[in-house]
Chains A and B, each alone.
Chain A
């Protein structure tokens, strides 16, 4: 039996993976085989998946999403002609279309890429809800990061302001990465593959804080402690 064809192309929001028509099990098998084969190239990528007419139930799609995330990749969208699959995807919190009505105003990357991921992006502005900042190196923001904004960095994230959005440092697996902010109250904070959710805001004065992985878990300390 031959597996269906898997095609991949770069889109604004990551990579679009198209799997040719076949039964679901075969499509799934083809996709996973492809992801394993291309793992070096794909590292940490965000995938949108286009799978034709296949009507998928939540267990099927949920399982695939987990299998994708076990490979260090993120499934964020599923494009399908099947209303059933669209509904399933929406219930799982996945997007079902990739062309957004308004272009995401992503702040442009510096065009010199360093292999080592040491390149730093400096942004001086408030990141409001809906903004997304991505860089393979470090990210420094001078300003606030509001709830609904997202920062994804291969290296460290430093915010000279209030950090209340979603932040992912070491997004390609670097467990040494840190997240520091004058006020650290992200809706979600990730370092490498560790996640912590809402740090509730204490009343009173916030102190500059820093998150990093210690003994396999994210801990948060005062910024000046080291």
Chain B
């Protein structure tokens, strides 16, 4: 096995990086992949909470890096799926406890063991972000269809290009079809026109995300709902499948064109 390292980042906080990391990890693991997710948001850990693994933390990322435990010991296995692991962030340290080269080393040690390493990046463009993208093979940028989130995504995409980690792929999270229809929210075309990167998924705003997160059960593991389905689609696209975009009825123009695209390419 040689893992692909996927970093999930955004610039702006609160757009859904952690949610996306947890759900993509769960969705990939459901597809039979061996997945480790790493919470690189040192000092503000919460991937463990979303995954419902908080009470099982013994060692964390900084413990591994500073040699207080072996890598294996810090990997918490999620018992609900065959091969899903979490390396939690340290809560009581700050981002300077880890360097970009530490992250590269850690991921290189993990690569032979698993299929996917998902890295949940902190918000911002500083040390934590650099740590998270240093080992990346693929960078997914999460944004919301709002002007400020898109502006930050644009900045981050520029930095990713500068670090030669691009081209980034885009997840538009929390789309509200109703608001787009009323013209109160940026639509997918507006976002893509500005950012000019490849879209890998659109996740609707879905209150089930919050309900599930509170229960420590990512939506992608939790029955049938729109958001969970969207994350599963993204996971399948990462695996190289051609999965048509869901029709959220949000953006007729965009989906019509996609439909045409899929028709002409024979899907």
Closest beta carbon of chain B to A54's beta carbon, Å: 29
Instruction: Confirm or deny: B164 has a beta carbon within 8 angstroms of a beta carbon on chain A.
Output: no
Nearest CB on A from B170, distance (A): 13
A97 within 8 A of B: no
Asked if A129 contacts B155 (CB within 8 A), the reply is yes
Q: How far is the CA of A134 from the CA of B196 in the complex (A)?
A: 24
Indicate if the CB atoms of A146 and B126 lie closer than 8 Å.
no
Query: Which of chain A's residues have a CB closer than 8 A to the CB of B158?
Result: 105, 128-131
On whether the beta carbons of B159 and A146 are closer than 8 Å, the reply is: no
User: B208 to chain A: closest CB distance in Å?
Assistant: 32
Quote the shortest CB–CB distance from B191 to chain A (angstroms).
Answer: 12
Q: How many A-B residue pairs have CB under 8 A?
A: 35
Q: Do the beta carbons of B155 and A148 come within 8 Å of each other?
A: yes
Is B138 close to A, CB under 8 A?
no
Cβ proximity bits A163-205 to B, threshold 8 Å, 1 near / 0 not: 0100000000000000000000000000000000000000000
Q: Is the CB of B126 within 8 A of A101?
A: yes
Contact indicator A148/B151 (Cβ below 8 Å): yes
Q: Is A144 an interface residue (CB 8 A)?
A: yes
With a cutoff of 8 Å between Cβ atoms, the chain A residues found around residue B155 in the complex are: 128-130, 148
The residue from B125, B162, B194 contacting A146, defined by CB atoms under 8 A apart: B194
Interface size class of A (residues with CB under 8 A): 10 to 19
Which A residues between 88 and 105 are near B, CB-CB below 8 angstroms? 101-102, 105
Instruction: Give the distance in Å from the alpha carbon of A130 to the alpha carbon of B162 in the complex.
Output: 12
- Residues in A with CB closer than 8 Å to B194 are 144, 146-147, 164
Partner of A102, one of B126, B152, B161: B126
How distant is the Cα of A105 from the Cα of B161 in the complex, in angstroms? 11
A119 contacts chain B at the CB level, 8 A cutoff: no
- List the A residue with the shortest CB-CB distance to B196: A126
In the assembled complex, the CB of A151 is this many whole angstroms from the nearest CB of chain B, namely: 15
Taken residue by residue from 110 to 148, chain A's Cβ proximity to chain B (1 for < 8 Å, 0 otherwise) reads as 000000000000000010111100000000000010111
In the complex, what distance in Å separates the CA atom of A164 from the CA atom of B194? 10
Please state if B127 and A146 are interface contacts (CB–CB under 8 Å). no
Question: Could you say which residues of chain B place their CB within 8 Å of the CB of A129?
Answer: 151-152, 154-155, 158
Contact A144 B162 (CB under 8 A): no
The answer to the question of B157 belonging to the interface, with a C-beta cut-off of 8 Å to chain A, is: yes
Residues from chain B with Cβ under 8 Å of A146 in the complex: 154, 194
Q: Which residues of A contact B154 (CB under 8 A)?
A: 128-130, 146-148
Report whether B157 and A101 are in contact in the complex, using a CB–CB cutoff of 8 Å.
Answer: no
Of B125, B151, B152, B158, most A-chain CB atoms within 10 Å: B158
Residues of B within 8 A of A147 (CB): 151, 154, 194
Query: Smallest Cβ distance from B180 to chain A, in angstroms?
Result: 15
Residue of A nearest to B160 (CB): A128
Contacts of B161 in A (CB 8 A): 128
In the bound complex, how far is the Cα of B126 from the Cα of A28, in angstroms?
35
**Residues in B neighbouring A126, C-beta threshold 8 A:** 196
A148 to B155, CA, bound (A): 8
For A144, A146, A147, A164, the residue with the greatest tally of chain B CB atoms inside 10 Å of its CB is: A146
Q: How far is the CA of A102 from the CA of B130 in the complex (A)?
A: 10
Instruction: Report chain A residues within 8 Å CB of B196.
Output: 126, 144
Closest to B126 in A: A101
Task: Find out whether the CB atom of A102 lies under 8 angstroms from the CB atom of B125.
Answer: yes
Closest-by-CB residue of B relative to A101 is: B126
Q: Tell me the smallest distance from the CB of A99 to a CB of chain B, in Å.
A: 12
Per-position binary interface string of chain B over residues 187-210, scored 1 when its CB falls under 8 Å from any chain A CB and 0 otherwise: 000000010100000000000000
Given contacts A126-B196, A144-B196, contact A102 B151 (CB under 8 A): no
State A146–B191 Cα separation when bound (angstroms).
12
Given the interface pairs A147-B151, A148-B154, the reply to whether A130 lies near B127 with Cβ below 8 Å is no
Given contact pairs A144-B196, A146-B154, a sample of 8 additional A-B residue pairs in the complex whose CB atoms are under 8 Å apart: A101-B126, A128-B158, A129-B155, A130-B154, A130-B158, A131-B158, A147-B151, A148-B155
5 A-B pairs (CB sep. < 8 Å): A101-B125, A102-B159, A128-B154, A128-B157, A130-B155
Binding site for A on B (CB under 8 A): 125-127, 151-152, 154-155, 157-159, 161-162, 194, 196
The 9 A-B pairs with the shortest beta carbon distances in the complex, nearest first, are A128-B158, A129-B155, A129-B154, A130-B155, A101-B126, A128-B154, A105-B162, A146-B154, A129-B151
